[in-house]
Amino acid sequence: MAWFRRRPRSGAPGGRPVNQADLEHLTQFVSSRRGVEGFIEPQTTVTETTLLLVAHDGEWTRRRIESPEVARRFAHKMSMPVYDISLLGYPQRMRDYNERQRRRPQ
């Protein structure tokens, strides 16, 4: 029985290869909002490395990315600052945005 068969890992050293659709989504987010900063969320036992983008008003998006190095290269290409989330934590404006969204009438 193969109940617990593992999925094969990609050949990428940090995780799965870069997904073009994810990069396009991140690029569109950066170019359509102002004051966007990137936050690298490290790989855990449950999730792969992700890049969290947070705009000036706290609106955010997140996508899986191959590695922290790829996230840094993406941020450099987009001319935006990038930080390690484990060192800085989540920005307050993101938490405020989430709270505003939760309080919005449905």
Q: Is the pLDDT of residue 7 over 80?
A: no
CA-based radius of gyration for the chain: 16
Mean pLDDT for the stretch of residues 52-78: 97
pTM: 0.83
Phi–psi pair at 73, nearest 5 degrees: -65, -40
Domain 20-103 -> CATH class: alpha beta
Q: What pLDDT, in 10s, does the model give residues 73-82?
A: 999 999 999 9
Task: List helix spans (H) across 1-106.
Answer: 20-32, 68-77, 85-88, 92-103
Contact call for residues 81 and 44 (beta carbons, < 8 A): no
pLDDT at site 106:
72
Tokens of 13: 């050293």
Domain residue spans of the chain: 20-103
Average pLDDT of the chain is 88
pLDDT at site 12:
46
Q: Is the pLDDT of residue 10 over 70?
A: no
